[in-house]
Amino acid sequence: MFRIGVVCGFLMLVISDGSMAEPSAERGSYLVNTIMACGNCHTPRDSAGRAMTERTLAGGGLSFTTPAFVATAPNITPDVDTGIGSWSDAEIKRALIEGIRPDHGHNAGVPLAAIMPANFYRGLLPDDLDSIVAYLRSIKPVRNEVPAPVYKLPVHRDPYPDAEAGFTTAMFSDQVKRGAYLVTIGHCMECHSAWSRGVSDFTTGLGRGGRAFPPRPGTPDGSPDSIAANITSDSTAGIGAWTDQEIVRAVTQGIARDGHALKPPMAFGYYAGLTETDLADIVAYLRAVPPLQ
């Protein structure tokens, strides 16, 4: 079922000379609002924890208090005073792939907190990066000033191997490589890899899970932490024994193989918008992740 249209979808993505289709706000919207799930952090939520769609990407969706920093997801709408409306295209791209703010405007020169997955976005293809900028330019500007970050330690991001190696469209004749690209820009392994004392293990702990996340605001008092699952191909500890449909259901509906509901910060509400082609590619990549207990 999920392999239907894979070839057609790929042909739509790549034009005859092997380059990506022209950058567009439509492509940027698809990336931002599905696999990258930017609103999962950047869109404010009401007291019940529901995303406030009239304030999409206006900042304040999540705040993070860690031993290294205290930070609130910033406003990334085109508002000039409180968002990124005064940033150049190059400055937006640098923020995305390097985690560095421009030397002007709100919080000038202050780095983005390590929760911003610039180490994963480093793998974005240039045309996709241009499309994301085009989309962010197109959305409604919302005035919403959020607190500036407070750093207790220098900002640290662990290099993600696939993003460091980079991607080219020439790789995308391989379904697993296409899935690897989506999983990289979706920063899935940011949560699902082994993690200890603020350091991610993408070498010997890729996909092993185990990282704990505190309940979101609006969650009933006493709710337990959310523990990132093992998503390696291991047949017992991981998802190796799951069917393609069970994996897709978990990704898009937040329902595990045994029927229990998955918890935030898993952004299944955003992933529900992924095409069948992209979901099939993601499944193919996850099947290739080495098994770990």
From first to last of its 293 residues, the chain has per-residue pLDDT tens of 333 333 434 434 443 233 356 899 999 999 999 999 999 999 999 888 889 999 999 999 999 999 999 999 999 999 999 999 999 999 999 999 999 999 998 889 889 999 999 999 999 999 999 999 999 999 999 999 999 999 999 999 999 999 999 999 999 999 999 999 999 999 999 999 999 988 999 999 999 999 998 887 667 777 888 999 999 999 999 999 999 999 999 999 999 999 999 998 999 999 999 999 999 999 999 999 999 99
Distance between CA atoms of 99 and 96, rounded to whole angstroms? 6
**Residue with structure tokens 């030397």?**
103
Distance between CA atoms of 151 and 226, rounded to whole angstroms? 25
pLDDT of amino acid 197:
86
Q: What angle do CA 217, 113, 90 make, to 5 degrees?
A: 120
Give the residue ranges of DSSP H helices in 58-154: 89-98, 118-121, 126-138
Count CA within 13 A, CB hemisphere, residue 140: 9
Is residue 226 a contact partner of residue 260, using CB atoms and an 8 Å limit? no
Rounded to a whole number, what is the largest CA-CA distance in the chain?
Answer: 56
